Amino acid sequence: MLKKWLIIMCAIFVAGCSTAQVPKYLQAKKPYIKRFYGSYDQVVEAVRLALKETGWTIEKEVPPTIYEYSTESEFGDKRQILILTNVNETPYFIGTRYSRINVYVREGSSDQTEVELRYLKVHSFSFKGFYRYGKRTFSQKFFDSIEKTLAGQRIDKVNLEQTLK
Condensed to tens digits (0 to 9), the pLDDT of residues 41-74 reads 999 999 999 999 999 999 999 998 888 776 554 5
The model's pLDDT over 11-29, given as tens digits with 9 standing for 90+, comes to: 555 544 455 677 888 888 8
Residue 9 within any structural domain of the chain: no
For the chain, what is the domain count?
A: 1
CATH at residue 121:
3.30.310
Q: What is the mean pLDDT of residues 95-119?
A: 91
Q: CA distances (Å), 30 to each of 118, 120, 147, in order?
A: 7, 10, 21
Residue 155 within any structural domain of the chain: yes
**3-state secondary structure at position 62:** strand
Residue 15 within any structural domain of the chain: no
Q: Which of the residue ranges 84-88, 92-96, 126-130, 145-149 would you say has the lowest mean pLDDT?
A: 126-130
For 119, the domain range is 26-164
What CA–CA distance (Å, rounded) separates 117 from 67?
15
Q: What is the pTM of this model?
A: 0.76
Residue 13 within any structural domain of the chain: no
Residue 61 within any structural domain of the chain: yes
Q: Which of 80, 100, 98, 79 has the alpha carbon at shortest distance from 89? A: 98
Checking if the pLDDT of 94 tops 80, the result is no
Residue 10 within any structural domain of the chain: no
